[in-house]
Amino acid sequence: SAVISQKPSRDICQRGTSLTIQCQVDSQVTMMFWYRQQPGQSLTLIATANQGSEATYESGFVIDKFPISRPNLTFSTLTVSNMSPEDSSIYLCSVDTLGRTEAFFGQGTRLTVV
């Protein structure tokens, strides 16, 4: 299994500012994913981050708004830029290892933009 430390766990931010969310894994993993989840809703994949290459973004998400870093095999960051109230959501990082069928999740970052 993989243990994921995600921080901050929650934050309240002013509109127009940016927040960087960190995701630290206790073992080396190939693929890291960033999801967004509105309360009571499903998880929507924002992007896939592989070490050594640029993140791959899903339809509706762009790098300027959600820049991602993946400097090594145990760490990634997601920045929510120029925030608006519509960005209020729970952001989750997830890790995956080739050959495994289970995805592991961090505890999430509950973001409120005011």
Partner 1 sequence: GQSLEQPSEVTAVEGAIVQINCTYQTSGFYGLSWYQQHDGGAPTFLSYNALDGLEETGRFSSFLSRSDSYGYLLLQELQMKDSASYFCAVRARPSGGYQKVTFGIGTKLQVIP
Shortest separation between residue 13's beta carbon and partner 1, angstroms: 20
The tokens of 6 are what?
């995600």
Residue from the set 76, 89, 106, 111 that interacts with partner 1 by CB under 8 A: 106
Question: From the list 22, 24, 50, 51, which residue makes contact with partner 1 (rule: CB under 8 A)?
Answer: 50
Radius of gyration of the chain (CA): 13
Cα gap 104→92, rounded to integer Å: 10
Residue 10 near residue 111 (C-beta atoms within 8 A): yes
Q: Which of 45, 61, 65, 67 binds partner 1 (CB under 8 A)?
A: 45
Residue selected from 92, 95, 111, 113 as contacting partner 1 according to rule CB under 8 A = 92
Closest CA to 22 of 98, 114, 91: 91
Q: Which residues sit at the interface with partner 1, rule CB under 8 A? A: 31, 33, 35, 40-45, 48, 50, 56, 92, 94, 96, 101-108
